[in-house]
Amino acid sequence: MAEKLISKIPEGPLAEKWTKHKSQIRVVSPGNKRKLEVIVVGTGLGGASAAASLGELGYNVKVFCISDSPRRAHSIAAQGGINAAKNYQNDNDSVYRLFYDTIKGGDYRAREANVYRLAEVSNLIIDQCVAQGVPFAREYGGLLANRSFGGAQVSRTFYARGQTGQQLLLGAYAALNRQIAAGTVKSYPRYEMLDVVLINGEAKGIIARNLVTGKIERFGAHAVVIATGGYGNAYFLSTNAMNSNGSAAWQCYKKGAFFANPCFAQIHPTCIPVHGDQQSKLTLMSESLRNDGRIWVPKKMEDVKALRAGTKKPSDIAEEDRDYYLERRYPAFGNLVPRDVASRAAKERCDAGYGVNNTGLAVFLDFKTAIERLGKDVIAARYGNLFQMYEKITDVDPYKEPMMIYPAIHYTMGGIWVDYNLQTTVPGLYAIGEANFSDHGGNRLGASALMQGLADGYFILPYTIGDYLAGKFKEPKTDVNAPEFAEAEKAVVEKIEKLFAVKGKRSVDSYHKELGHIMWEYVGMARNEAGLKKAIELIQALKADFWKNVYVAGENSHFNQELEKALRLVDFFEIGELMARDALNRNESCGGHFREEMQTEEGETKRDDENYMYVAAWEYKGEGVEPELHKEPLVYENIKIATRNYKD
């Protein structure tokens, strides 16, 4: 099956690959586009922009989302910004520099050609969003403003206050609405994809549950696009929205799409710390805060104790008694080191006993210096809504006392394996945005998720899918009465019936929380061989117990959130297991994946380029059978491989 892993990276110099590829792939004539149907699952930045763009081109699009409106997709929660290589600040930014920073930030585990293309189209995205009426922040002269983000030494991040994801999504959603009104796109809100249907090995449709009526329905098309985001909720507590899940991607895996680098999960350094065991999710404080906020813990243990006892306030700690540990350890980048580096540094201080909060699992993010330097008004203009959000949750005013933060699961770099055309190993099945694995390697840089979602949806998929569909316009519409649809529907119905039939005592959420504890403990910020093996055992045991003792309330023929959660959790067990398996295989430390066995004396990551410079693509082999590992070698022709260095 190894021949399936053909990345289809075009020949030629890096900077010419995409241009050359576009000129060589096939296009579909307008008349024929009208005969072709495409299903897009998910309406975040990737899905909404893809569906809108495909509709504009004249394809017949069906778009599905689990929320009551496409606008609620979790892209909306992205705060800080979107990168582009515009060089508007004249700080010597370029497509190459954005490409280089992204490859380096990803710890040399992303594909050169894909990342270069991403950097190349980044500028088009900004133009597109401005034209749609996205109210980006502007300077007094009326031109677009920028700020810096982690892992970069230039200011290339465009933003709309702390609501950039919201504004970009509203732009894509508006474009989608325009196509829905024009009739090229049909929208299916409150529908959840429960399986992908293959006919003769090609993706031809999906089975979806109408979340209001419970009806299981069949939808056919000439191609299917998965834009359903990441699988970070395997950890239960994460910054992902409550309904974010990995199930659509997982059904693709089970139908033959390879799943790549599942162990690469990003732990974001600036989240509001856990308050207790009633917690349902974690809230991110945008990375942009690290532009002006300084991260520290006390130098003296007596101050740590006084803070925990409440006898001292953070503002009482003298400047010389504060350990600005990122500035100390990484002088060149300071508080703007990449996310994985900042997260591990926080863990290191907390493990050493210097953590604050009553749990000892928090560090300070302090705006004192910035407020003194710039004034409260400037800080309020930059981060006002984030400060307000923080105060509402914690009851602490960050203008007066520093914020407390701690790392949390935020994003998954791994995902469905795709080739240069964003096609999976299943013909006709595409994956875009966070759902695929392609651009971020072992670690994603801040403000790059929005860039990738929109790059894929606006400017890459609409071209590359044409190459596939050009061979399909003579085929009739997919017949949803085909036996393959009936079979897939039957399997879905049986799975639902099986869940209700358990009639045990434990709630779905209680299992999800337990899975989350296992994942965070053994497949979290630091991993080792014994722990990963234990995680696999524990997850398998928990899954077996779930099928004996879970209680799924209600029935299928209603709006039933317990059933929705149960169906997603069934897949999270398996996703969690594959993450542990992949982490076990990758015996190196790289990006967000930190194997304790592989670290330098200073506790920095130690990559093993000789043995692990590859994409690990897993193939499903059946229930209870170990998946097969395929390796796509990563070849760097244009940049020199180096150890990441954020110190000098």
Partner 1 sequence: MDLTLKVWRQKNAKAKGHFETYQVKNISSDSSFLEMLDILNEQLIAEGVDPVAVEKGCQSSGPVSFDHDCREGICGACSLYINGRAHGPDDEVTTCQLHMRKFKDGDTITIEPWRSAGFPVIKDLVVDRQAFDKILQAGGYVSVGTGGVPDGNAIPIPQADAEESMDAAACVGCGACVATCKNGSAMLFVAARVSSLALLPQGKVEAARRAKAMVAKMDELGFGACTNTKACEMECPKHVTVTHIARLNREFLSAKLHD
Q: Which of residues 541-570 bind partner 1 (CB under 8 A)?
A: 551, 553-555, 558-562
* Sheet with 294-298: strands ordered across: 265-271, 403-412, 363-366, 294-298, 322-323
Per the document, the length of the chain is 648
In the complex, what is the shortest distance from the CB of residue 450 to partner 1, in angstroms, rounded to a whole number?
A: 14
Residue 144: beta bridge partners?
Answer: 138
- Smallest gap from Cβ 406 to partner 1, in A, equals 15
Place of tokens 């997919």: 478
Q: Which residues of 141-170 are buried (b: 16+ CB within 10 A; e: fewer)?
A: eeebbbbbbbbbebbbbbbbbbbbbbbbbb
d(C-alpha 247, C-alpha 279), whole Å: 23
Helix (H, G, I), strand (E, B) or coil at 226: strand
Q: How far is the CB of 4 from partner 1 (least distance, A)?
A: 31
The neighbour count for residue 343, using CB atoms within 10 Å, is 26
Per CB under 8 A, 278 contacts partner 1: yes
Task: Please identify, using beta-carbon distances, which residue of 205 and 516 lies nearer to partner 1.
Answer: 516
Task: Tell me whether strands 265-271 and 403-412 are parallel, antiparallel or unpaired.
Answer: antiparallel
Other residues' Cβ atoms within 10 Å of the Cβ of residue 542? 17
Minimal distance, residue 186 CB to partner 1, in Å: 12
Of residues 365-394, which lie at the interface with partner 1 (CB under 8 A)? 385, 388-389, 392-393
- A 10 A CB-CB count for 373 gives 11
By CB under 8 A, residue 86 contacts partner 1: yes
Indicate whether 591 belongs to the interface with partner 1 (CB under 8 A). no
Residue ranges in 218-247 that form contacts with partner 1 under rule CB under 8 A: 241-243
- List 458, 520, 572, 620, residue binding partner 1 (CB under 8 A): 458
The interface mask with partner 1, positions 477-516, x = CB under 8 A, is ----------------------------x-x-xx------
Tokens of 593: 């994946």
CB of 557 to partner 1, least distance (A): 10
Distance of alpha carbon 274 from alpha carbon 313, whole angstroms: 20
Token pair, residue 636, equals 């760097």
Classify the C-alpha dihedral 561-564-566-571 as positive or negative. Answer: negative
Q: Which is nearer to partner 1, 30 or 142 (CB)?
A: 142
Please say which residue, 384 or 603, places its beta carbon nearer to partner 1: 384
Q: How far is the CB of 637 from partner 1 (least distance, A)?
A: 29
Q: Which is nearer to partner 1, 248 or 526 (CB)?
A: 248
**Is 89 among the residues that bind partner 1 (CB under 8 A)?**
no
295-324 binders of partner 1 (CB under 8 A): none
Q: Which of 24, 92, 200, 280 binds partner 1 (CB under 8 A)?
A: 280
Binding window for partner 1 (CB under 8 A); candidates: 34-42, 131-139, 411-419, 569-577: 131-139
Which are the catalytic amino acids? 339
User: Using CB under 8 A, which of 133, 201, 353, 471 touches partner 1?
Assistant: 133
Task: Spell out a b/e string for 9-40, using b for 16 or more CB atoms within 10 Å of the CB, else e.
Answer: bbeeebeebbeebbeebeebeeebbebbbbbb
Give the binding-site size for partner 1 (rule: CB under 8 A).
85
Residue 19 within binding range of partner 1, rule CB under 8 A: no
How many CB atoms within 10 Å of residue 591?
Answer: 29
Q: From the CB of 334, what's the least distance to partner 1, in Å? A: 27
Is 335 one of the binding residues for partner 1 (CB under 8 A)? no
DSSP symbol at 312: S
CB of 626 to partner 1, least distance (A): 34
Ramachandran region of residue 428, left (φ > 0), alpha (ψ -120 to 50) or beta?
left
Instruction: Specify the DSSP class assigned to residue 358.
Output: T
Provide φ and ψ at 416, rounded to 5°: -65, 130
Contact with partner 1 (CB under 8 A): which of 53, 87, 412, 423?
Answer: 53
359 counts as binding partner 1 under rule CB under 8 A: no
State yes or no: residue 540 binds partner 1 (CB under 8 A): no
Collapsing DSSP states into helix, strand and coil, what is residue 318?
coil
| Residue 395 binds to partner 1 (criterion: CB under 8 A) | yes
From 66-74, 293-301, 318-326, 404-412, span contacting partner 1 (CB under 8 A): 66-74
Q: Is 140 in the site for partner 1 (CB under 8 A)?
A: yes
Among 9, 25, 27, 124, binds partner 1 (CB under 8 A): 124
Q: Which one of 156-164, 411-419, 422-430, 571-579 is the stretch in contact with partner 1 (CB under 8 A)?
A: 156-164
- Contact with partner 1 (CB under 8 A) among 7, 49, 146, 270: 49
For residue 40, the cross-strand partners are 63, 225
Nearest C-alpha neighbor of 243 from the set 561, 549, 507: 561
Interface region with partner 1, contact rule CB under 8 A, candidates 275-283, 359-367, 429-437, 586-594:
275-283
Q: Does 462 bind partner 1 (CB under 8 A)?
A: yes
Beta pairing, strands 628-633 & 223-226: unpaired
Options 62-70, 311-319, 396-404, 539-547: segment touching partner 1 (CB under 8 A): 62-70
Give buried/exposed letters for 512-533 (b at 16+ CB in 10 A, else e): bebbbebbbebbbbbbbeebbe
CB of 562 to partner 1, least distance (A): 6
Sole window of 138-146, 399-407, 520-528, 629-637 interacting with partner 1 (rule: CB under 8 A): 138-146
Q: Helix 112-132 vs helix 95-105: angle between axes, to the nearest 10 degrees?
A: 120
Q: Which is nearer to partner 1, 43 or 335 (CB)?
A: 43
Which span (168-176, 320-328, 407-415, 612-620) binds partner 1, by CB under 8 A?
168-176
- Closer by beta carbon to partner 1, 71 or else 630: 71
Tell me the longest C-alpha to C-alpha distance in the chain: 76
